[in-house]
Amino acid sequence: MIVSKQKPFAEILAALGEAGRIFLVGCAKCATVCKAGGEEQIWQMQELLAAAGKEVTGSIVIDEACHLLRVQRDLRGKGEPVRHAEALLVLACGAGVQSVSAAVEQRTVAGLDTLFLGNIRRFGHFEQRCSLCGECLLNETAGICPVTVCPKGMLNGPCGGMDEGKCEVNAEAECVWSQIYSRLKARGEFAPLIRTTPAKDFSKMRKPGSLKLER
Amino acid sequence: MPTHLQTLLDAGRFVVTAEISPPKGSDCTAFLATANDLRGTIDAINVTDNQGANMRISPLAPAALLVREGIEPILQLTCRDRNRLALQSELLAAAALGISNILALSGDYISFGDHPGAKPVFDLDSVQLLEALATLNGGHDLGGATLSGVPAFFAGAAAAPEAEPFELTMNKLSRKATAGARFFQTQAVFSPERFARFAEAVRPLGVKVIAGVLLLKSAGMARYVTANIPGLKVPPELIAELEGSPDQLRQGVAIARRQIAALRPLCDGIHLMAMGKEELLPEMLAGLDR
Ligand code: SF4
Ligand code: SF4
């Protein structure tokens, strides 16, 4: 899922600027799990905005704010409260914000900072394990991603900063190559440990991505 | 044409290299004065590349100035700040300026330095950079195009002889050797016993080993580098030894001399890191049988 975090309220207020009538949009998927843009946060935001002297014309929590057509349809369905608003404040990831900005004429304000594609460790604790590189190497690396979990994205073993199996960047974390090495060795898979991984083809993750499935 | 360093190593001579940090600014006068004072003492000078992720002049310029002075540089090049285009073009520029010894590094992480908000690159890792060096030496770039003018780089890599798990470190070094590293310059060594195990283990790789010796300037500095420089850990007994001495810098020189003497039979050369106290290098080396 996409991990996001609410911007400080002062920053949100500054971004809203002169706009007095605000319509709120949340997302029922990732932003809800992150406690950044679900029903609860929409209510809290409504109160904060009211206290700051803004009029909240209405709100909606969209099932998936990243769904361009659904957002367009749902906002149209809301009618007057949306049309009457001077700005829409979106508590969803950057993709969600852009579905909204594409669907309306008014100014669309992002209320969250979008962080990364994350795994859920436990409620409220998210970890980045994949950075969507477009050509997955996990089959060679014992199912552990060096592109993402190593801060330097080293593909051929640990950097010179690794010690006691710990990462130079974060002494609490185990170096990804220490993890990969022990797993492969335990399985008796030595080939990937000897082979040199060539320079990665980063064209596979060139922006902006687009994929149309063939029927 | 082989570099001076390469010629010495191939002839089995014991080499001495030292590193000097280039200035933060464009004035290389002090850098060159330090280098000039070491003429005759040092076989080649490492010019560090944004060391510790701290922004400084590109090492290419000071290395080229050394060539002009008739002093042989080892250009350090990190993957942290350049993508594969920049790395290759920097290397071709180095070749054009008469710089052929290259130390291929991944680079300390950006968060350690003075521009923590910068975007790290790491388009290649150090093994892939060594492969790029070999490709350029073969007359091609990484895209497969033919070069006009073929460089003859003498490629080296860094090694962390005391890093654990040892097996993993060795795996990395053998990848570096396969990718074309001809010499290793090591992280500062503090335990000659552990270094002996390392020297034994790398011998089959057929790569020359230049052992790192760091001048400990004071107990405070020793503690600082232990806390702040990745892969560097000064053992507590050395820190205590410095602490107990009336002249810590002198004691640091004595410790370095001791390390050098202990390492001499175990390696092909010594790499000195004096961290601004380069004037003490001759004293650290006095009496060394080369
Ligand atoms: S290799 Fe690429 S696709 Fe696979 S987990 Fe890592 S970043 Fe994601
Ligand atoms: S210590 Fe390991 S995980 Fe950390 S930056 Fe170096 S190679 Fe990557």
At residue B204 the predicted structure's pLDDT band, cuts being 50, 70 and 90, is very high
Predicted TM-score (pTM) of the model is 0.95
Residue B91 reports pLDDT greater than 90: yes
Cβ neighbours of residue B257 under 8 Å, at least 6 residues apart? B284, B286
Of the residues B88, B111, B122, the best mutation for testing chain A's interface (the one with the most A CB atoms within 10 Å of its CB) is: B122
pLDDT tens per residue, range A71-99: 999 999 999 999 999 999 999 999 999 99
Alpha-carbon dihedral A45, A46, A49, A51, rounded to 10 degrees = -110
Report CB contact under 8 Å: A151, B131. no
Residue B156 reports pLDDT greater than 90: yes
Least CB-CB distance to A196: which of B109, B163, B179?
B179
pLDDT of residue B208: 98
At residue A198 the predicted structure's pLDDT band, cuts being 50, 70 and 90, is very high
The CA distance from A9 to A21, in Å, is: 17
Residue B184 reports pLDDT greater than 90: yes
Question: What number is the average pLDDT over the span B92-119?
Answer: 97
Q: Average pLDDT, whole number, for chain B?
A: 96
DSSP conformation letters of B11-35: TTPPEEEEEEPPPSSS--HHHHHHH
Residue B228 or B266, more confident: B266
Kindly report the nearest CA distance between residue A177 and chain B, in angstroms.
8
ipTM topping 0.95: no
pLDDT of residue B287: 87
Does any CB of chain B come closer than 8 Å to the CB of residue A144?
A: no
Rg (C-alpha) for chain B, rounded Å, is 18
DSSP conformation letters of chain A: -EEEEEPPHHHHHHHHTT--EEEEEEESSHHHHTTSSSHHHHHHHHHHHHHTT-EEEEEEEES-TT-HHHHHHHHHHH-HHHHH-SEEEEES-HHHHHHHHHH-SSEEEE-EEEEEEEEEEETTEEEE-----SS--GGGTTT--HHHHSTT--SSS--TT-BTTB-SS-TTSBPHHHHHHHHHHHTT--HHHHSPPPPP-GGGGPSSP------
For tokens 């520029």, what's the residue? B93
Least CB-CB distance to B171: which of A153, A157, A198?
A157
Question: What number is the average pLDDT over the span B196-201?
Answer: 97
pLDDT tens per residue, range A122-150: 989 999 999 999 999 999 999 999 999 99
Q: Return phi, psi of residue A157, to 5°.
A: 100, 175
The CA distance from B211 to B160, in Å, is: 10
Please count the residues of chain A.
215
Nearest-CA neighbor of B259 among B218, B212, B221, B217?
A: B212
State the first-to-last Cα distance of chain B, in angstroms, to the nearest integer. 24
pLDDT of residue B104: 98
* Chain B residue numbers touching A202 (CB-CB < 8 A): 123
Kindly report the nearest CA distance between residue A185 and chain B, in angstroms.
11
Worst-scoring range by mean pLDDT, A2-16, B61-75, B222-236? B222-236
Of the residues B49, B82, B109, B119, the best mutation for testing chain A's interface (the one with the most A CB atoms within 10 Å of its CB) is: B109
**DSSP 8-state code for residue B7:** H
* Chain A residue numbers touching B225 (CB-CB < 8 A): none
Residue B1 reports pLDDT greater than 90: no
Q: Is A113 in the pocket of ligand 2 (CB under 6 A)?
A: no
Does any CB of chain A come closer than 8 Å to the CB of residue B168?
A: yes
Residue B200 reports pLDDT greater than 90: yes
At residue B271 the predicted structure's pLDDT band, cuts being 50, 70 and 90, is very high
pLDDT of residue A180: 97
Residue B289 reports pLDDT greater than 90: no
Kindly report the nearest CA distance between residue B123 and chain A, in angstroms.
8
Question: What number is the average pLDDT over the span B72-93?
Answer: 98
Count of CA atoms in the C-beta half-sphere (13 A) of A178: 17
pLDDT tens per residue, range B216-237: 999 999 999 998 887 788 999 9
The CA distance from B91 to B77, in Å, is: 9
Q: Is A158 in the pocket of ligand 2 (CB under 6 A)?
A: yes
pLDDT of residue B290: 82
